[in-house]
Amino acid sequence: MRAFDEALFTMKDGEISGIIKTQFGLHIIKRDKAQGIPPFKELEQQLKSEYQNYRFQYDYSTMVNKIRGLYSYKQSDETAKAFAAAVDTSKTTNDAGWDSTVSSAVRSMTIYTYAGKSVSVNEMIELAKNNQELKNLALNAPNTVNLMLEKVGIGLVTEHHAQQLQDKFPDFSRTMKEYEEGILLFKAEQENVWNKVIPSDSALRKFHAERKDSYRWPDRVNAQEIFVTSDSVAQLVVRSIKGYTVDSLVARKTKGKGKKTLYDTLKIAVAPISFDSAAARFNTRGTTLETRGVLGMQVASTNTVTQLAWSRPDADSLVYFSNDGGFSFVKAVKKDGAREKTFEEAQSEVSGAYQEFETKRVGDEWYASLQKKYPVVIVKEALEKTFVVPQPAAAAPKP
């Protein structure tokens, strides 16, 4: 509220205001802390979003209306009504024949005039069919025809305006020419190079077979780790895997009353558990709780756990070591030595390399055919004149 804003911007941090009267009643406010405006870089994305949401449409409409006025743009209401009444409202703009019910008489009517030009309904329909923003619109919706006419009309008059700018601003004209040539080159390369590179299964398998040495696995290991946070728990893990005995006192049978009870000590063996069971019971590493400490196949040199899992024999799995502020036991679930990748294992890499290789090969062939068809002649004499460094004029002789 304005009353709050006026008070807050005149107060200092920590200051309490006097009584402020608004339409809602009487208020006392305290200014806690004022923050400066962040740097532009921090606000840039937010400003763009806010402009897009709150201001862009207004500025866009203002610009379009100005351009319409410059070229006396007009849309015929009579023709618009005739066109709206003629379209097949049971279809959408994705249907191939959505305009089939529009008669030749309506098609020949003028829908737009601007800059001394006139555009027929038939021309408008063709432009609408090629406009991606006008795809899949239901023609029975009340706004569809108006939206179609609006979009096509704005496109025509703004494109005409852009063409005039090319004459008025040479730099803009050069930029537009580069843009158009860039699009033309993109389409030409797409048709003559990219569309001809087809990574079929047979082609990929042949490409892989010829380059098997390029697709290799290094030494890999699937390690299982038991991670605990204290040495006492680590010792319990060792005992659990090895198995251990516990002493139990068992009372002897005695005859007669009042005699003192005697006890015998029995040793009870606790069966050993597997490394996997120990991992399920004792492992506390959060990222591998659900997998019972199994890390999955990784390159053997990834970290200390994988290095030891690769290099240690299974008998050393009970030798724990300090790791990440706790203690770790490591065992190799599976080892896979360095080898060539199968086609299935290397398929994604092969596909990328094949497309890159074929694109260059087909592209080089296409460029060579263009050079042959349109040979480039370098006029060395012209180059020599172009890059000649002008010599300073000779000084006049002294009298």
Q: What is the number of other CB atoms lying within 10 angstroms of the CB of residue 156?
A: 20
**Do 79 and 122 share a domain, yes or no?**
yes
**What confidence tier does 257 reach under pLDDT thresholds 50, 70, 90?**
low
- Is residue 373 scored above 70 in pLDDT? yes
Does some domain include residue 322?
yes
What is the distance between the alpha carbons of residues 279 and 318, in angstroms, rounded to a whole number? Answer: 12
Task: For 114, list phi and psi in degrees, rounded to 5.
Answer: -165, 145
**Do 103 and 143 share a domain, yes or no?**
yes
**What confidence tier does 380 reach under pLDDT thresholds 50, 70, 90?**
confident
Summarize the confidence of residues 236-263 as an average pLDDT.
76
Does some domain include residue 52?
yes
Count CA atoms within 13 Å of residue 270 on its CB side.
14
- Is residue 102 scored above 80 in pLDDT? yes
- Is residue 151 scored above 80 in pLDDT? yes
**Do 330 and 358 share a domain, yes or no?**
no
Summarize the confidence of residues 21-45 as an average pLDDT.
87
- Is residue 144 scored above 80 in pLDDT? yes
Give the pLDDT of residue 394: 63
192-205 pLDDT, tens per residue?
999 999 999 999 99
**Do 269 and 377 share a domain, yes or no?**
no
**Do 247 and 313 share a domain, yes or no?**
yes
Does some domain include residue 388?
no
316-362 pLDDT, tens per residue?
788 999 999 999 999 999 999 999 999 999 999 999 999 999 999 99
**Which of the two residues, 4 and 204, has the higher pLDDT score?**
204
Angle between helices 144-168 and 77-86 (to 10 degrees): 130
Q: Which two tokens stand for residue 280?
A: 């399920």
Does some domain include residue 266?
yes
Does some domain include residue 178?
no
Does some domain include residue 85?
yes
Asked whether 359 and 197 are in contact (CB, 8 A), the reply is: yes
Percent of the chain with pLDDT over 90: 69
Give the pLDDT of residue 164: 87
What is the distance between the alpha carbons of residues 294 and 283, in angstroms, rounded to a whole number? Answer: 10
How does 88-99 read in b/e, with b if 16+ C-beta sit within 10 Å?
Answer: eeebbbeeeebb
**Do 76 and 141 share a domain, yes or no?**
yes
Query: Which of 288, 309, 340 is the C-terminal boundary of a domain?
Result: 340
Give the structural domain span for 62: 39-69
Does some domain include residue 183?
no
Q: Please report where in the chains the tokens 């402020």 appear, as a residue.
A: 20
What is the distance between the alpha carbons of residues 211 and 17, in angstroms, rounded to a whole number? Answer: 79
- Is residue 250 scored above 80 in pLDDT? no
Give the pLDDT of residue 210: 95
Q: H helices of the chain, where?
A: 2-8, 40-54, 56-70, 77-86, 104-107, 121-129, 144-168, 170-192, 201-210, 231-242, 275-282, 304-311, 343-373, 380-386
Q: Which two tokens stand for residue 3?
A: 């009353």
**Do 45 and 32 share a domain, yes or no?**
no
Does some domain include residue 199?
no
**Do 47 and 11 share a domain, yes or no?**
no
Give the pLDDT of residue 91: 93
List the CATH number of the domain containing 331. Answer: 3.10.50.40
| Count of the separate structural domains present in the chain | 5
Query: Which of 315, 340, 365 is the C-terminal boundary of a domain?
Result: 340
Asked whether 231 and 327 are in contact (CB, 8 A), the reply is: yes
What is the distance between the alpha carbons of residues 100 and 104, in angstroms, rounded to a whole number? Answer: 10
Look up the pTM and report it. 0.52
- Is residue 395 scored above 70 in pLDDT? no
**Do 368 and 329 share a domain, yes or no?**
no
**Do 27 and 97 share a domain, yes or no?**
no
**Do 222 and 326 share a domain, yes or no?**
yes
**What confidence tier does 65 reach under pLDDT thresholds 50, 70, 90?**
very high
